[in-house]
């Protein structure tokens, strides 16, 4: 679960998402070209590219005095979770018009960035993953029962449940009953696909 949290924290960043998109749409580019594409200083872009490379989302290879960046091949990624996320990112980012982070973006680009970051920040806390794993193993569960299962205080459990509810991942069965379950009819292809990936990585059945 630590890998899930770490990867999602890396991806919940607009600059890194734009760098990924630049690599997907302009493979075999060097740092200066990628930095110019996304409106970042080359040293900052280099740091962010190394971070993305550490999770095998991109692959860097030296060529002469340059280091060229390209999309990682699935065979180069040993983690099934990271392979699934890479495929999701390619579907979401590849072959789309790229606007530098510092420039004006179209409404559709802003919406895409918002949806990606909102999706990834859903899974940036270990406790939320533990809650999801326990909810996936049960038809429903009260917040008190969940807190006991995951060894959290009722206040902390409810706080994480409410965030998951705002993201459309879980739902409560009503205002008069404190019963929670996974949301199996999520809106949006991207959030639904990401939840499937998360549940698969948590080794629980995906019914969304």
Residue extents of the structural domains in the chain? 2-121, 126-201
State the pLDDT confidence band at 140, using cuts at 50, 70 and 90. Answer: confident
Provide the pLDDT for residue 187.
83
> Candidates 2.60.40.10, 3.30.420.40, 1.10.10.10, 3.40.50.12780; correct CATH number of 2-121?
1.10.10.10
Q: What is the CATH architecture of 126-201?
A: Orthogonal Bundle (1.10)
Provide the pLDDT for residue 104.
45
Taking residues 19-35, report their average pLDDT: 92
Provide the pLDDT for residue 141.
87
Q: With 60 as the cut, is the pLDDT of residue 203 above it?
A: yes
pTM across the whole model: 0.87
With a CB cutoff of 8 Å and minimum separation 6, the contacts of 178 are: 142, 143, 144, 172
Locate all alpha helices (DSSP H) within 151-188, ordered by sequence: 154-166
Q: What's the N-to-C CA distance of the chain in angstroms?
A: 20
> Cα-atom radius of gyration of the chain, to the nearest Å?
19
Provide the pLDDT for residue 70.
92
Regarding predicted confidence, which is higher, 138 or 52? 52
2-121 shares its CATH topology with 126-201: yes
Q: What is the pLDDT of residues 143-186, one digit of tens each?
A: 899 899 889 998 999 999 999 999 999 998 766 568 899 988 88
State the pLDDT confidence band at 207, using cuts at 50, 70 and 90. Answer: low
Q: What is the mean pLDDT of the chain?
A: 88
Lowest mean pLDDT among 13-17, 29-33, 64-68, 146-150: 64-68
Q: What is the pLDDT of residues 71-125, one digit of tens each?
A: 888 888 889 999 999 999 998 887 555 454 444 466 777 888 899 999 999 999 9
């Amino acid at each position: 679960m630590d890998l899930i949290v770490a990867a999602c924290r890396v991806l919940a960043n607009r600059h890194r998402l734009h760098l990924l998109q630049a690599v997907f749409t302009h493979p075999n580019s060097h740092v200066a070209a990628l930095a110019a594409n996304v409106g970042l200083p080359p040293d900052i872009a280099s740091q962010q590219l190394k971070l993305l490379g550490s999770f095998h989302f991109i692959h860097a290879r030296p060529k002469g005095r340059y280091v060229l960046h390209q999309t990682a091949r699935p065979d180069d990624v040993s983690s099934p979770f990271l392979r699934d996320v890479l495929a999701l990112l390619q579907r979401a980012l590849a072959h789309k018009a790229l606007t530098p982070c510092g420039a004006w973006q179209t409404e559709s680009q802003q919406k895409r960035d918002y949806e990606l970051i909102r999706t990834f920040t859903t899974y940036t806390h270990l406790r939320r993953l533990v809650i999801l794993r326990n909810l996936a193993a049960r038809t429903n569960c009260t917040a008190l029962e969940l807190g006991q299962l995951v060894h959290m205080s009722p206040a902390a459990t409810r706080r994480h449940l409410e965030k998951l509810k705002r993201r459309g991942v879980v739902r409560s069965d009503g205002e008069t009953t404190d019963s929670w379950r996974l949301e199996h009819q999520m809106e949006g292809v991207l959030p639904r696909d990401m939840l499937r990936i998360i549940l698969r990585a948590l080794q629980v059945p995906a019914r969304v």
